[in-house]
Amino acid sequence: MKHLTSELTKLMNISSLKGVKTCIIPASDIIVSNWVRFKCRFGCKGYAKHFGCPPYAPSPEETRAMVKEYEIGLLLRFDGVPGHPSFGPDDIPEDFHHFYRDLIIWVNSTVHLIEKTAFYDGFYKAFGFGGYPCIFCEECVAEESEGIVDESLRRKCRYMDMVRPSMEASGMDVFATAKNVGWELSTIPCKDLEYGKVIHGDIVSIGLVLLE
């Protein structure tokens, strides 16, 4: 227990240096729901185009079973969008994925760093879940490949060591999970209900690293 306490302190300090808030979460408070994947399959333009997204990401059934093998994790909170301290819907390009590039890199690289640090400190079960479609590459191999969606494409991933599934892609209810640690999240309205044209930049992003 002493080792775990000191490790959590270390990881929280590293996160703080990255501008990230953290909260210890019991694995039993991580909510996995079947409906979440439907949001990915229907309505998200990134579906099947990134290796951290469905159908490459674990199913809710797989995620639910995996989470049960853990006791504790670290929930990470990222406030705002780096490079865009304030913006409105008219500032966002039609291909808005790259507008949020620095945010996505911030989330996923921090999750990877926390997982990697914990692993090399002896927490060999450490595993992270990021957020959003992966953007380590300008265009994912999955998106470049035509034809059938095949799991074997993953072997061509250019950042295989860093890519992790996003929480939502794996069936985690991010809103309910965050609420369990006292973080109230809300959806951000979009101008004229247009996908991606968010009204304001007060975006909160969430990541997770399971420890043991």
Domain boundaries, the chain: 2-13+22-210
Q: How confident is the model at residue 187 (pLDDT cuts 50, 70, 90)?
A: very high
CA distance 109 to 204: 16
CA distance 186 to 45: 21
Q: How many CA atoms lie within 13 A of 154 on its CB side?
A: 17
Q: How confident is the model at residue 2 (pLDDT cuts 50, 70, 90)?
A: low
- Per-residue pLDDT, 146: 83
Which pair of structure tokens corresponds to residue 183?
């973080």
Dihedral angle sign, alpha carbons of residues 6, 9, 11, 14: negative
- Per-residue pLDDT, 46: 87
- Per-residue pLDDT, 56: 93
User: Which residue's entry shows tokens 């999240």?
Assistant: 185
Reported as a single tens digit per residue, the pLDDT across 19-62 is 999 999 999 999 999 999 999 999 888 899 999 999 999 999 99
Q: How many CA atoms lie within 13 A of 121 on its CB side?
A: 18
Beta bridge partners of 205: 78
- As to burial, measured by CB atoms within 10 angstroms (0-12 exposed, 13-18 middle, 19+ buried), residue 200 is exposed
Dihedral angle sign, alpha carbons of residues 118, 120, 125, 127: positive
pLDDT, average across residues 80-84: 94
